[in-house]
Amino acid sequence: MPLIKLRGVTVDFPFTPYPCQEDYMSKVIECLQNKVNGVLESPTGTGKTLCLLCSALGWREHFKDTISARKIAERMGGAELFPDRQMSSWGTAATDGDTPTYYTDIPKIIYASRTHSQLTQVISELKNTSYRPKMCVLGSREQLCINQEVMRHESNHIKVHMCRAKVSSRSCVFYNNFDGMKTKIGDLPVDDIDQIVCSCRVCPYYLSRALKQHADVIFMPYNYLLDPKSRRAHNIELKGAVVIFDEAHNVEKMCEESISFDLTPYDLISAIEAVDRLLREQASDISKADSKNIFLNAQLNNLTEVLMDLESSINGFEMPANSQGITKPGSFIYELFQTAHVNSDTKTAVVEAMEQITGYLAGRPGVFLNTSGLQKVADIIQVRSMLKRSVGCFLYFFPIFIVFVSLSLLSWCLGLNLQRAIESVFAYFIGNVLSYWCFSPGFSMQELLRQGVRSIILTSGTLSPLSSFTCEMQIPFPVSLENPHVIQRDQIFVSIIEKGPDGVQLSTAFDRRFVPENMSSMGNTLVNLARVVPHGLLVFFPSYPVMDKTLEFWRVSLYFSLSAIKQQLPVVIDGYYDKVNDPNSSGGSFFAVCRGKASEGLDFADRYGRGVAITGLPFPPRMDPRVVLKMQYLDEMCKNKISGVKYLSGQEWYRQQASRAVNQAIGRVIRHREDYGAIFLCDHRFKGTEARNQLPSWVRPYVKIYDGFGTMVRDAAHFFRTAQKTVNPFLRPVPVRKEKESVWLSDTSQKAKTLASHVPSLKMRKLGEKTVASCTAKTGKAFMMELRRCLSHENFKLIMEGLQSYKTTDDLSDLLANVTEPLIQDHNTHCLLRGLYQFIRPHHKKEFDERCLELTGEGCGYKQEHSLSREEREALGQNPVNVRSEVQKPQTSIKEGLSCSSLLSDIKQAIGAEKTRQMFLALQAYKTSNNYEQMVFIITFYIFY
């Protein structure tokens, strides 16, 4: 493996790195050496994970070596161990600034990603390097518990209490086995934890917690770091550690959600019922009073009173007439809980009582009682207490709000007409919802800094725009990087499509998204793209309502033949992969939404994602109370202008949310350095300078704005033809999919493909994949239809004019000058040139055959009798049509032939008299308006289909 030197640190990298990979590793080392934070963006496919691991571990080894060098120097009494190499050449990390360091000061690396499945991929990458650090993976009982009696329960908090009960009673064999080998934990070969678990039958949950103390690298989902309750539960020590957030595009959202909550009427009622259940049982059976699990009646009564007082306080607020809820500052939550007698003096006893009741009911066989509400209230009290310790008297100014929302408003916010059904079925659940929302992700980041971490590195393939991202984090990032991609120019095609093939402006703005003309134009656009893009096309909508209503419109209007109903993601995506891999199919389309699992958590490499179409800017719902309050908060922070802190305005944040969702969806198209694909931004608003500037830096150089749809399609077709010849992609196996999302699968391989064949913007289609049929075998109008289908409007018009001129002038040289250039540029259109043989007059056929042989390498099948005139053939008794079955001289001009009575009769028989009348009305309008695209659109979609 090549050794490379970066900022004085030797990094063992598995391959010869690209320049962008060296830049990335240099930035990582800079952060670690200078003990500063960094935000690093590097596109998917640039080897980001491998660079991150090698650079961080290489720096850690260098740090350890410098300490060893200092120890040796101390033992040598100042003498040099190696005469040709001074000890100072080992570096200065042994002092780490002004502070002397020791082996115990070597930083642990905490590597956090979004999910355990992503961490599994990271560990696989680590095994491809030469580094073998001690490591462990932290997980919850839900992921790691192997006790079937515990895992059969669905509720996570029930699993927690059952596990604790079995551990305390020593009734779990897996924990007992772990307990017996605690003293040997430091000597275990931690390269393969699964092997240890299988061979020793030990509990992986407690094993991972024990290995954490000895590990050099600790892997965990990043909610374990950001959620103060989880951080405390896992006893994560952060002082001096290097914290890396991979796939950090979701960190902002996770920071806010980790200390936010919604307390519903159902939560409080289920909590009260759990306490009442235990109180009634205890009162009905006095003989159980001596049981160690029994609680004092006074204690239970006091807990019931606390919960009922809290419920009354929340429901005591009268909702305003505008149904917008009531907003209070964050500090008001202490006043609210004080009305339920929960304060700093009583909170510990209240929380302990709630957890004991939950654990007691969880361990009782045959008791089916929902205790999630009781656990939720206990967690809320704990989070509230931790926040108070963190921010103290400044909580009033801190960006956490309490919002009281009635159930009717909650239903309205969800876009669901459920109020009547809920009131009739769950009438006693009606009440106010207490929502405690954090609007500053910087709070969680500042908490990490207060824990004494060495460096925080945020990295992802999609963090753009970086300036707004770092503003939201509210901590300094002296080191930043926007890496280019490792792909070449001929591997990416980016287009902004302002108008569809019918000339209608594309937009999913609020006032345009459900306009029939707009939805029709979007459908027409996607049909064209599905035909140009080989294999798989990913289509992302701004939201589920837009996707659902648009697909329903297309189904009714017969735009698409949708072969699947709304299903869970694994079912639908398997159908999509099957469609793409089917040799008898020309591809498939996968419909999803921005911010969904498909846009963030799935790998559509190679043929599964040759193209990505973004159908609009996915702005958050503008009237959502959470969005409204977030924007109000940011505007207030900008207005106050707190010294040294920069905030986004509400509008800047709103636009940034849409841009980041678009960038994340765009990241599906190029998944590795040998991949290639196209990006189609199907909304006129992408033309704006601001929208384009917020695209990823590696995408911006390739963006091209198209006013004409046909021009874009021809360029896209040329791009794919070139890429298929020059790029040699390797196909990866179908990835494992565990997350779920409701999406649609569109079957674009049959009816939609046939439909698209009539659309003029597809005439320069990818003939390399579907070779044009033997055009010399088509006669008369059949050949004209094939010619019209395969060529652009301009080239078809040029050839028609050449044939008309040839009929008048009888000048073969002039005809060849007109028809040769558009037909010999692509070898797939050579047969079209030879197909013109049937329109060549007998005395020119030999010369035309020779020119075709010269230009295309193949003649037209000339025979001597083809040079005979009609009269000469009739005199010889030959049928002029049968002289060569595939060649026929037209009896009349081309224009007359296409409008002859037999053709009109065929059309009437095929589509009926009324549609024939509509077709000729459209043709008549075309003569007046000269709007060719509109004429073809009307004929194709409203007559033939």
- Residue by residue, DSSP assigns 400-416 as EEEEEEEHHHHHHHTT-
Between CA 58 and CA 9 the distance in angstroms is 7
The helix (H) or strand (E) run that includes residue 160 is helix 156-169
Average pLDDT, the chain: 76
Q: What CA–CA distance (Å, rounded) separates 232 from 452?
A: 15
Nearest one of 278, 293, 294, 287 to 169, comparing CA atoms: 293
Average pLDDT estimate for 335-344: 86
Q: Does residue 470 surpass a pLDDT of 80?
A: yes
Residue from 623, 695, 705 nearest 661 by CA: 695
Helices 265-284 and 372-391 pack at an angle, to 10 degrees, of 120
Give me 537's structure tokens. 């096309």
pLDDT of 55 reads 95
Rg (CA), the chain: 35
Do the Cβ atoms of 614 and 667 come closer than 8 Å? no
- Which of 332-336, 552-556, 703-707, 777-781 tops mean pLDDT? 703-707
Q: How many C-beta atoms lie closer than 10 Å to residue 434's C-beta?
A: 25
- Could you tell me the pLDDT band of residue 852, with boundaries at 50, 70 and 90? confident
**Mean of pLDDT values over 162-171:** 88
Residue 678: per-residue pLDDT: 94
Apex 746 CA angle, 744 and 751, nearest 5 = 155
- Output the pLDDT for position 873: 64
Separation CA 247–CA 114 (nearest Å) = 7
- If one compares 841 and 388, the residue with the highest pLDDT of the two is 841
Q: How far is CA 874 from CA 468, 842, 870, 885, 910, in A?
A: 83, 14, 6, 16, 35
Judged by average pLDDT, the poorest of 37-41, 200-204, 513-517, 736-740 is: 736-740
Tell me, what amino acid is at 127?
A: K
Taking alpha carbons only, the member of 132, 130, 150, 133 closest to residue 141 is: 150
Question: In this predicted structure, which of 213-217, 291-295, 573-577, 730-734 has the lowest mean pLDDT?
Answer: 730-734
Q: ∠ CA(742), CA(743), CA(749), 5° rounding? A: 155
User: With contact defined as beta carbons under 8 Å apart, do 453 and 238 qualify?
Assistant: yes
> Is residue 939 predicted with pLDDT exceeding 60?
yes
Q: What is the mean pLDDT of residues 375-388?
A: 78
Q: Is 286 exposed, middle or buried, given 0-12, 13-18 or 19+ CB atoms closer than 10 A?
A: exposed
Q: What is the pLDDT of residue 762?
A: 33
Q: Is the per-residue pLDDT at 680 higher than 90? A: yes
Which pLDDT does position 28 carry in this prediction? 96
pTM: 0.70
What are the tens digits of pLDDT across the range 46-93? Answer: 889 999 999 999 999 988 888 777 766 666 565 555 555 554 455 444
Q: How large a percentage of the chain has pLDDT more than 90?
A: 16
Q: How many CB atoms lie within 10 A of CB 857?
A: 9
pLDDT tens, position by position, 562-606: 443 334 455 577 778 788 888 777 788 888 899 887 777 677 878
Of residues 820 and 703, which shows the higher confidence score?
Answer: 703
Mean pLDDT for 266-289 is 77
Report whether 716 contacts 642 (CB < 8 A): no
Instruction: Say what the alpha-carbon torsion angle 131, 136, 137, 138 is, to the nearest 10 degrees.
Output: -150
pLDDT of residue 356: 83
Determine contact, residues 424/392, Cβ cutoff 8 Å: no
Residue 888 confidence (pLDDT) above 80: no
Helix (H, G, I), strand (E, B) or coil at 270: helix
The helix/strand/coil state of 534 is coil
Q: What is the model's pLDDT at position 704?
A: 92
What is the rounded distance in angstroms from the CA atom of residue 715 to the CA atom of residue 704? 11
The predicted structure's pLDDT at residue 780: 63
Binding residues for [4Fe-4S] cluster: 145, 163, 172, 203
- DSSP assignment, residue 943? I
Question: Which of 3.30.1370.60, 3.40.50.300, 3.30.870.10, 3.40.50.11540 would CATH assign to domain 492-727?
Answer: 3.40.50.300
Rounded to 5°, angle at Cα 662 from 656 and 668: 140
What pLDDT score does 481 carry? 93
Least confident of 158-167, 318-327, 405-414: 405-414
What CA dihedral angle connects 223, 227, 228 and 232, to 10 degrees?
-40
pLDDT interval class at 477 (50, 70, 90): very high
Range scoring the smallest mean pLDDT among 20-29, 288-297, 439-448, 936-945: 288-297
Same topology, domains 1-76+101-133+216-258+454-484 and 492-727? Answer is: yes
What's the whole-number mean pLDDT along residues 842-859? 85
pLDDT at 546 over 70: yes
Tell which residue, 818, 817, 833, 819, has the closest CA to residue 775. 833
Lowest average pLDDT, out of 90-94, 229-233, 654-658, 826-830, goes to: 90-94
| Higher-scoring residue by pLDDT: 105, 850 | 850
> Residue 413 has what pLDDT?
34
Residues in binding site: 145, 163, 172, 203
Is the pLDDT score of 421 beyond 90?
no
The pLDDT value recorded for residue 51 is: 94
Burial class (CB in 10 A: 0-12, 13-18, 19+), 110: buried
From 378, 327, 324, select the one nearest 351 (Cα to Cα): 378
| Residue 100: pLDDT band with limits 50, 70, 90 | low
CB atoms within 10 A of CB 365: 4
| Nearest C-alpha neighbor of 177 from the set 213, 210, 153 | 210
Query: What pLDDT does residue 707 have?
Result: 80
pLDDT greater than 80 at residue 397:
no
Which of 623-637, 744-758, 771-785, 873-887 has the highest mean predicted lDDT (pLDDT)?
A: 623-637
Residue 187: Cβ-neighbour burial (10 angstroms; 0-12, 13-18, 19+) = exposed
pLDDT band of 428, cuts 50, 70, 90: very low
For 108, 109, 645, 911, the CA distances from 453, given in Å and listed in that order, are 10, 10, 21, 74
Q: H or E element: which one contains 460? A: strand 455-460
Query: For 3-12, 223-232, 417-426, 791-800, which range has the lowest pLDDT when averaged over its residues?
Result: 417-426
At 862, the pLDDT band (50, 70, 90 cuts) reads: confident
What is the structure's pLDDT at 863?
Answer: 82
Distance, in Å, from the CA atom of 353 to the CA atom of 381, rounded to the nearest integer, reads 12
- At 871 the pLDDT is 61
pLDDT score of 912 more than 70: yes
Name the CATH superfamily housing domain 1-76+101-133+216-258+454-484: P-loop containing nucleotide triphosphate hydrolases (3.40.50.300)
pLDDT at 29 over 90: yes
Q: How far apart (Å, rounded) are the C-alpha atoms in residues 324 and 782?
A: 65
Q: How does residue 396 score in pLDDT terms, banded at 50, 70 and 90?
A: very low
- Return the domain boundaries, the chain: 1-76+101-133+216-258+454-484, 259-416+424-437, 492-727, 780-871, 903-944
The share of the chain scoring above pLDDT 70, in percent, equals: 72
Question: Residue 941: pLDDT above 60?
Answer: no
